[in-house]
């Protein structure tokens, strides 16, 4: 009996030790799981914090870039506006200078003509009575004495039109745009002006209006070349005499110029 009791006590002890070991192992595993969960939660929190920080940094960088782009756009628009204002001021000054030069040249031409007429009158002997003679027939101006100005920013068009006019014995002056035409008109008054519509600096409508507004150049016939049929009214309002479409007949162009030389403007 004593041996059985001893064996039972030993078995209870071993069972208690095994239970204690298992409990200790369970507690250790539970502690390890808790620590692992804490580490995972910490890592997740750090990941979320890092993502939030990255998002905020990206938003900050994007906001800075947007602000920089907006500032650059505003500065670019300001510079463009200043350049446009300067270009417009230069254009207006060139227009004024061309108008003044044209008016001064026309005044000089008119003064020279008056002086020539006065000198011719003084040289004629006085007669007690002038005989009645038939009215003198005014001959049309010869092509060789007719100056036709071409205002067009296309070199190809200028060369082509120049060839047509020269082949018909006309004198030709060529201008690259409206401002160049105004400058040349001030130096040499043309008999007829042929102009394009779209030109840099001063277009054909503006050129025609400037010619018409100056009493000394208002008589110059203006032929405008355009492929836009809707320009009829605008051209008439500007003072254009003839609006030719593109392409036009060389014969029609020459006929208009010869008509102007026979009848004058209109």
Residue-wise pLDDT for 216-242, tens only, equals: 999 999 999 998 878 999 999 999 999
Q: What's the Cα-to-Cα distance from 26 to each of 20, 29, 31, 39, 84, rounded to whole Å?
A: 10, 5, 8, 20, 85
CATH of 143-263 given 3.40.50.12780, 3.40.50.2300, 3.40.50.2000, 3.40.710.10: 3.40.50.2300
Beta strands in the chain (DSSP E): 147-151, 171-175, 192-196, 222-225, 242-244
- HSE value, Cβ hemisphere, 13 Å, CA-based, for 79: 6
Q: In whole angstroms, what is the distance from residue 195 CA to residue 253 CA?
A: 12
Model confidence at 139: pLDDT above 70: no
Give the pLDDT band (50/70/90) at residue 66. confident
Determine the Cα angle at 116 with ends 111 and 121, to 5°. 125
Model confidence at 202: pLDDT above 60: yes
Q: Considering Cα of 144, then 146, then 151, then 152, what sign does the dihedral take?
A: negative
- pLDDT reported for residue 137: 43
Q: In whole angstroms, what is the distance from residue 250 CA to residue 266 CA?
A: 20
Residue-wise pLDDT for 6-55, tens only, equals: 889 998 899 999 999 999 999 999 998 999 999 999 999 999 999 999 99
- pLDDT reported for residue 128: 47
């Amino acid at each position: 009996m004593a041996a059985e009791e001893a064996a039972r006590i030993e078995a209870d002890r071993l069972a208690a030790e095994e239970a204690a070991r298992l409990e200790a192992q369970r507690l250790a595993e539970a502690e390890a799981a808790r620590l692992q969960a804490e580490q995972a939660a910490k890592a997740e929190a750090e990941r979320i914090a890092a993502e939030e920080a990255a998002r905020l940094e990206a938003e900050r960088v994007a906001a800075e870039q947007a602000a920089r782009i907006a500032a650059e756009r505003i500065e670019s628009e300001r510079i463009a506006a200043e350049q446009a204002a300067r270009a417009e001021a230069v254009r207006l000054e060139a227009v004024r200078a061309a108008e003044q030069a044209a008016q001064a040249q026309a005044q000089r031409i008119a003064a020279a003509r008056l002086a020539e007429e006065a000198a011719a009158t003084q040289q004629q002997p006085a007669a007690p009575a002038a005989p009645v003679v038939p009215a003198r027939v005014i001959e049309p101006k010869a092509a060789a004495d007719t100056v036709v100005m071409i205002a067009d920013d296309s070199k190809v068009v200028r060369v082509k039109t120049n060839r047509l006019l020269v082949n018909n014995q006309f004198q030709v002056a060529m201008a690259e745009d409206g401002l160049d035409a105004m400058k040349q008109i001030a130096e040499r008054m043309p008999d007829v002006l042929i102009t394009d519509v779209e030109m840099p600096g001063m277009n054909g409508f503006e050129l025609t209006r400037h010619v018409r507004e100056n009493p000394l150049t208002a008589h110059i016939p203006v032929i405008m070349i355009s492929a836009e049929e809707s320009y009829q009214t605008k051209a008439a309002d500007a003072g254009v005499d003839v609006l030719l479409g593109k392409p036009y007949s060389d014969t029609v162009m020459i006929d208009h110029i010869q008509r102007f030389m026979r009848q004058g403007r209109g």
